[in-house]
């Protein structure tokens, strides 16, 4: 089985916030978790892919870049997107197909938008997905707190399936690159 670590919108301005939005919920834990999973990926020689949102910091400058606290492997790949969905207009799907990837470990921001759409699109595109439980974050909205949004998505996306492929939510301390999807089929 071929794996990849997909980190979505872990950009400086999105994580730290700006004049319109505050920082994401538990940003220090998020940054720590992202780095710990990157370290696991590097040890196992699992490719790391970053997706950046062109809407963040108008698509340029320090705010647009991956958060400076995140370790970026030297061989990491980057895709920039103009839509919520990481697969739309980015070449990501083609890249994963060429690499013959079967399993995506997904982390990043924002839980109810870009993370949710990536998990769902991946399962319908032929991939099993592991969403890292404490590896994604968001901000409060008018209806729900960030904590409620994260817990809701962890519950909703765990076991989400499209017949042949599905998503599991696992803790960062688990052996994320040893998927357990087959025990649920």
pTM of the predicted model over 0.85: yes
- Could you tell me where the beta strands, DSSP code E, fall in the chain? 3-8, 48-53, 77-81, 103-109, 128-137, 161-162, 165-170
pLDDT score of 19? 83
Q: What's the CATH number where 139 sits?
A: 3.40.50.850
- pLDDT tens string 108-155: 999 999 999 999 999 999 999 999 999 999 999 999 999 999 999 999
**How many Cα atoms are found within 13 Å in the side-chain-facing hemisphere of 69?**
15
User: Which pLDDT does position 185 carry in this prediction?
Assistant: 63
Task: Tell me the per-residue pLDDT of 88-97, one tens digit each, with 9 for 90 and over.
Answer: 999 999 999 9
Cα distance between residue 58 and residue 46, in whole Å: 31
Domain range for 19 is 3-183
Residues 144-179: pLDDT tens digits?
Answer: 999 999 999 999 999 988 778 999 999 999 999 999
Question: What average pLDDT does the structure give for the chain?
Answer: 96
Q: Are 53 and 81 in contact (CB under 8 A)?
A: yes
User: Residue 106's closest CA among 56, 157, 148?
Assistant: 157
Say how many domains are in the chain.
1
């Amino acid at each position: 089985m071929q794996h990849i670590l997909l980190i979505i919108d872990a950009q400086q301005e999105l994580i730290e916030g700006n004049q319109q939005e505050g920082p994401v919920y538990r940003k220090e834990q998020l940054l720590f978790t992202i780095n710990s999973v990157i370290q696991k990926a590097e040890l196992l020689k699992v490719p790391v892919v970053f997706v950046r949102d062109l809407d963040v910091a108008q698509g340029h400058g320090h705010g647009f870049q991956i958060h400076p606290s995140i370790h970026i492997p030297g061989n990491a790949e980057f895709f920039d997107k103009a839509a919520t969905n990481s697969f739309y207009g980015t070449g990501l799907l083609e890249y994963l197909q060429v690499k013959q990837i079967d399993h995506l470990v997904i982390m990043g921001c924002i839980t109810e938008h870009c993370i949710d759409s990536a998990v769902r699109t991946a399962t319908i595109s032929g991939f099993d997905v592991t969403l890292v439980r404490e590896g994604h974050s968001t901000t409060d909205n008018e209806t729900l707190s960030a904590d409620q949004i994260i817990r809701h998505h962890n519950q909703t996306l765990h076991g989400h399936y499209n017949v042949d492929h599905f998503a599991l939510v696992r803790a960062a301390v688990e052996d994320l690159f040893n998927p357990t999807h087959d025990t649920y089929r």
